[in-house]
Every structure is written in C-alpha cells, then in structure tokens.
C-alpha cells in the first residue's frame, strides 16, 4: 500500500523460514495500515545492513531548484534526525550541466565516507536524477539506502511522487494511479478536473480558488460550524464542472448544507449560475443551498439564479454565517 | 507612483485568441490599460476587437512596443510562451496559466533570470495599479486608487480582501498576485522591497496560505520595515497534505504550517487577522 510510515505501523515483518513468512503474510493481509487495506505482500531478501543511508531528490521552493538531500543516518527516523542533528544532513543542488556529475564527489564523500562507496552512490544519484527529469517527479527518495556487509549499496525502499501537472506527458504513469490511495470522492473529483479533499463536517463547500476555499473553511470553523470538504472548482469553470461538483457534494453522507462561494475573476459568474441551474434540473439538490456569487459577470449570474428562485448573496461572511446557522438547525 | 506597472506600461497579451485571453485582453483595454496587441502563432494579421494579433512576440514588440506581456497560453505551451517573451527581453512577464509542471518552472525561472527580466506567477491573477494599468484578470470593480499595497498567493482571496478595502474607502497603490505554485517567478520578499521604497504605499497587506515558506522569509524582511504590514494566512482547517517522502519536510525544516507562519510573522511585528474582513480595521489608515 502506498503510504509513508509503513514500517512503524507494522507493515514490515522479518521471517527466518518460509513458514514464518507465510504466517506473517497472512497476518498482514488481514490488516489495515494507515487507513489502507493490505492487498498484496512483497517478499524480499532480508539485508544485513552495515549502514543505512538516505538519498532524496526534491524541489526546493525557496531556491527554485532541484536539491539532493543525503544523510549517513538514514532509516525511519530521518526527519527527527534532520531536526535534532541537522549537521547529519547534507544538501546540494542538482547539476544539469552536461558531462558534469549530478552532485560533486566531495559532497558524496562527506556522506558515504569511502571513495569506492561514494563512486557507487554517484551512479545511483545520477540514475535518480534521470528518473526525476524523465518522469517529471517532484520527489525521488531512497530510504533506507543500505550498505551491505560485502560493501554493496542496495535501495531497500523508495518513494516517488509524480507531478500531477505533468501527467499529460506520461499516459503510462496515469494508468498506474491507484484508486485505493484516494477516497471515492477524490477519484471522482480527479476525473472531473476538480480539486477535492473530504473531511468529516456537515457543510459542503464549493469555492473557486484554493485560497478562498481554505478561507471559507476557516471561517466556517470560526463561526462554530464544520466544513465537510475542501473543493476548488478552479479557474474558467464550465457548467459541467459545477454539475460534477454538486454530484460530489451530494454524495457526501454527512453533508446537511451546501455553501457555494464564488468570487469571479477568470471564472464567470454566469457560467457558475448555469451550472447551478443544470444541477438543480438534473440532480434536484434536496439540501439547503447558500450561494454567494460576485465578481466577473456577477449581476448576470445572480439574475439567472433569481429567475429560478435561488436566493444569492454577495458577502462571504454573511453567506458563511447563514450556512453555519442552517447546518445547526438541520436535523 | 506604484510598483511594477503604471500608466505608461504597454501590455501585450500572449494567447490572445483563446477564450480567456480574448475576454481579458478586451477587459483590460476597456478599463483603460494600454493594451497594444496580442500574440497567437498562426493567427498573425487577424484582430481581437481593435487589437492586432501577431505571430510572435518579437513581431509584436517591433510593431507595437511592449513593456509587459500577460500569458494566457494553455499549460502545455505556457513555458514556451514565457521563454519567447524572455528572449524578446520583455521586462515583465505575467503568467496567468495554471497547471505548468513544476520542473518546467524551475527551468523557466532560471531562464528569465538569465535574461534579466521578471516573471510574476504562474497560476496567478496578475497585477494591477488601480487607475493606471491592469496586467491580468483582477476584476476592475474591486480595485480603487489609494495607499495600500496588496500582495497575495491566492487569486480569488485577493479579490475578497481588495473588494473590502475598496468598499471601506481604502484604495490600493498596487495589487500583485504572486501565484499559488511551489516554484514561481516573484516572491513576497521582492515585492516587500518594492512596496517599501514606493512613496505611494503607506501600508502593506500580505495574504498568505499554508505550505511553503514565503511568509516566513517575508517576516525576516518585515522586521526591518517601517511601514505597517497586516497579514491574513488561510488554511487553519486545511487537511494535512498526504505525507509521502521525507525530503520536503527536511528541506522545509518545520516551516509551512499556519500556526508556525503566524508565530514568525507576529514576532516580526506583523499584525495578524484571522478573518479576511478584519484586514480593513487592522490597517489603521482611516
């Protein structure tokens, strides 16, 4: 299953005989780890580690560059180590210059100590860098990167994050998407091109823009309500997208009230209104609906909804207050 | 005065024949911005409203002159559009497009840097100096001229706050959306520097959000600033990002959470508000 912290959650077991391995696998197949059901067990050779290293390539927002993070203190506690003993972490920018090493030999020597091991690590780092660029990854991480007793480096576990924005270039990778990693709602949202994360509250939110969506959720909480989700319908939203967004919210079993908060910029309020009318016709929308609609083509959008007897507001704070009130009064 | 764009700025629109490009090019023109034309490869010689369309940025620059290019080109071609503008040495490139792969942005930032031009965005609403120039999609009715500098990582949340400033009679010197992507052309720190030196700006509003360390780095600058800074940071109730690898956490070194950001900002003397409608009162300008 695709989750970090597997080992700590009992997702890695050691066995000395095939029978022991069978028993351990049966036990694991009955488990849920970090919320995911275990469906497969990978059996691998147990490595006698002389040392556990960490190698990760990722994007550093501050320096706008790809950085290689390495440590001789790899393993499950690497994040704690980075806080308690930052001197054990070595970070170097990844070089793209042709024929130059991805990371300098001196840097590798500081982490891996011996020259022969540093040379092997250099090849691995070069391969990881190739993977990162060829497959548009935002993270490629090997942890632990094990040094065996016969002086070989072995990648014992790895994590890769593919940049969603680049998936259109890699249809083969898109096909690998694992539906279990996401909830049903999140998968449906992805298919519709929406950004959605389910929570456990009762006020369904539909907002344009991630910042305004988060501000809406924060305000709901501040007024004593509980948001049921994060849902960003994105920029130029066509009516079909709004319809899909309503389908998502109405599928949420805990949702009692739907709060739409749109401040049109590139999004045009008449598109949103058309989507709301479409949803009303096709889905019914049996829940109380609070609609805040303002910005680009706002008057037009509000007039369209007024014609269909859907009440709208122009103020976000008033709309959120109303939604919290309705959720409180709902059975 | 203002920052980045003013009355004299000549604006070019890349991707002008698309749905969003044409709509907003005409809106900018209608609202008084000096829009000189647009670029769509293969559509040179045509027009959008009264605006001439060129095949390349170079042609547009030669024929009409341009100090700023606003990019509406869809994500698969947006990086090429940014680089084309940089090659033509357009001093300010504003990229509205969302969904550009982050590794492309790492290279794009390097590319514009090497050519000595500035990129704002991507995935941003652009910027505006009310009454003079708009290079982007911020709805004109929310804007008004005045003493408040606004910078934000979010598009629509910016409109929310700016509309409230305008309603309260507090106009803006300039409003800049830096964009929501992890790797972007311009950060808060660079804008703070510009606002700090701008005579028309009396106070600054910073609209941040969870993740990254733009706000934390801004705090270091604000510590030495005499102008008042008010900040709202969204994302207190945001679900935790699914944690996969460790490298991001190691590099960010405990930064990025809303509580951490607020603590660092308060320590630097920033006035924090927990609702977008409370920004107006906190500015103390009325």
pLDDT along chain A (331 residues), means of 10: 76 91 92 83 87 94 93 88 90 82 90 93 94 94 93 92 92 80 75 85 94 95 95 80 91 91 89 94 90 93 93 95 91 69
Query: What pLDDT is stored for residue A236 in this prediction?
Result: 62
Backbone angles phi, psi at B25, to 5 degrees: -60, -45
Contacts of B156 in chain A (CB under 8 A): 207-209, 211-212, 262-263, 265, 267, 295
How big is the CA angle at B35 (ends B162 and B132), to the nearest 5 degrees? 40
Q: Which of A19, A20, A54, A79 is catalytic?
A: A54
Contacts of A83 in chain B (CB under 8 A): 253-254
pLDDT tens digit sequence for A291-321: 999 988 999 999 999 999 899 999 999 999 9
Contact between residue A72 and residue A53 where contact means Cβ atoms under 8 Å apart? yes
Number of helices (H), then strands (E), in chain A? 11, 14
- A116 catalytic? Reply is no
Query: What pLDDT is stored for residue A174 in this prediction?
Result: 83
Of chain A residues 235-274, which have a CB less than 8 A from chain B?
235-236, 262-267
Of chain A residues 76-135, which have a CB less than 8 A from chain B?
78-79, 82-83, 86, 89, 91, 132-133
Query: What pLDDT is stored for residue A37 in this prediction?
Result: 83
Query: What pLDDT is stored for residue A189 in this prediction?
Result: 83
Classify residue B81 by its DSSP letter: H
d(CA A284, CA A298): 24
Contact between residue B210 and residue B260 where contact means Cβ atoms under 8 Å apart? no
Query: What pLDDT is stored for residue A95 in this prediction?
Result: 80
Is residue B58 within a helix (H) or strand (E), and if so which, with residue range? helix B57-64
Backbone angles phi, psi at A149, to 5 degrees: -65, -25
Intervals of chain B under pLDDT 70: 1, 240-245, 248-254, 286
Query: What pLDDT is stored for residue A115 in this prediction?
Result: 93
Query: What pLDDT is stored for residue A126 in this prediction?
Result: 93
Query: What pLDDT is stored for residue B170 in this prediction?
Result: 97
Q: In chain A, which residue's Cα lies nearest the Cα of B182?
A: A61
Of chain A residues 269-308, which have a CB less than 8 A from chain B?
294-296
Query: What pLDDT is stored for residue A268 in this prediction?
Result: 87
ipTM (interface predicted TM): 0.89
């Amino acid at each position: 299953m695709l989750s970090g912290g597997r080992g700590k959650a009992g997702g890695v077991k050691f066995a000395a005989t095939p029978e022991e391995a069978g028993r351990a696998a049966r036990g694991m197949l009955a488990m849920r780890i970090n919320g995911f059901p275990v469906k497969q067990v990978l059996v691998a050779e147990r490595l006698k580690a002389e040392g556990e290293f960490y190698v990760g390539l990722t994007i550093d927002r501050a320096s706008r560059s790809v950085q290689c993070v390495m440590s001789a203190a790899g393993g499950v506690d690497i994040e704690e180590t980075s806080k308690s003993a930052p001197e054990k972490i070595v970070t170097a920018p990844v070089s793209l210059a042709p024929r130059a090493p991805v990371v300098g030999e001196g840097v590798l020597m500081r982490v891996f100590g011996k020259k022969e091991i540093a040379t092997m690590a250099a090849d691995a780092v070069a391969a990881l860098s190739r993977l990162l660029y060829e497959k548009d990854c935002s993270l490629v991480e090997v942890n632990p990167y094990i040094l065996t007793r016969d002086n070989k480096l072995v990648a014992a576990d790895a994590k890769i994050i593919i940049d969603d924005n680049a998936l259109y270039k890699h249809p083969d990778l898109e096909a690998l998407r694992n539906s279990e990693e996401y909830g049903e709602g999140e998968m449906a949202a992805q298919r519709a091109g929406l950004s959605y994360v389910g929570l456990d509250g009762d006020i369904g939110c539909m907002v344009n823009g991630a910042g305004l969506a988060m501000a809406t959720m924060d305000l709901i909480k501040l007024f004593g309500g509980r948001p049921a989700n994060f849902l960003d319908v994105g920029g130029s939203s066509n009516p079909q997208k709004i319809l899909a967004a309503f389908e998502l919210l109405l599928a949420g079993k805990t949702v009692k009230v739907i709060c739409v908060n749109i401040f049109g910029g590139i999004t045009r309020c008449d598109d949103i209104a058309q989507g709301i009318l479409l949803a009303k016709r096709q889905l019914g929308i049996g829940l109380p609906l609070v609609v805040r609609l303002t910005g680009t083509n706002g008057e037009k959008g509000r007039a369209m909804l007024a014609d269909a007897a859907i009440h709208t507001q122009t103020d976000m704070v008033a709309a959120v207050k109303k939604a919290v009130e309705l959720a409180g009064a709902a059975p | 005065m203002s920052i980045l764009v003013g009355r004299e700025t000549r604006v070019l629109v890349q991707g002008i024949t698309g749905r969003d490009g044409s709509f907003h090019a005409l809106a900018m023109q209608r609202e008084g911005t000096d829009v000189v034309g647009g670029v769509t490869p293969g559509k040179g010689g045509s027009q959008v409203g009264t605006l001439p369309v060129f095949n390349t940025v170079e042609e547009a620059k030669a024929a009409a002159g341009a100090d700023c290019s606003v990019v509406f080109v869809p994500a698969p071609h947006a990086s090429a559009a940014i680089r084309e503008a940089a090659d033509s040495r357009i001093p300010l490139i504003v990229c509205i497009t969302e969904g550009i792969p982050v590794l492309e942005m790492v290279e794009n930032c390097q590319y514009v840097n090497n050519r000595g031009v500035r990129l704002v965005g991507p995935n941003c609403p652009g910027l505006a100096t009310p009454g003079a120039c708009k290079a982007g999609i911020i709805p004109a009715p929310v804007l008004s001229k005045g003493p408040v500098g606004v910078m934000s990582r979010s598009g629509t949340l910016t409109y929310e706050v700016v509309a409230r400033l305008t309603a309260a009679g507090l106009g803006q010197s300039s409003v800049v959306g830096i964009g929501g992507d992890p790797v972007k052309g311009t950060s808060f720190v660079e804008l703070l520097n510009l606002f700090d030196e701008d005579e028309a700006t009396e106070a600054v509003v910073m609209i941040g959000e969870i993740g990254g360390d733009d706000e934390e780095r801004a705090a270091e600058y604000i510590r030495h600033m005499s102008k008042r800074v008010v900040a709202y940071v969204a994302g207190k109730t945001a679900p935790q990002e699914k944690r996969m690898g460790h490298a991001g956490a190691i590099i960010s070194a405990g930064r990025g959470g809303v509580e951490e950001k607020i603590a660092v900002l308060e320590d630097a003397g920033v006035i924090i508000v927990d609702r977008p409608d409370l920004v107006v009162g906190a500015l103390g300008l009325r």
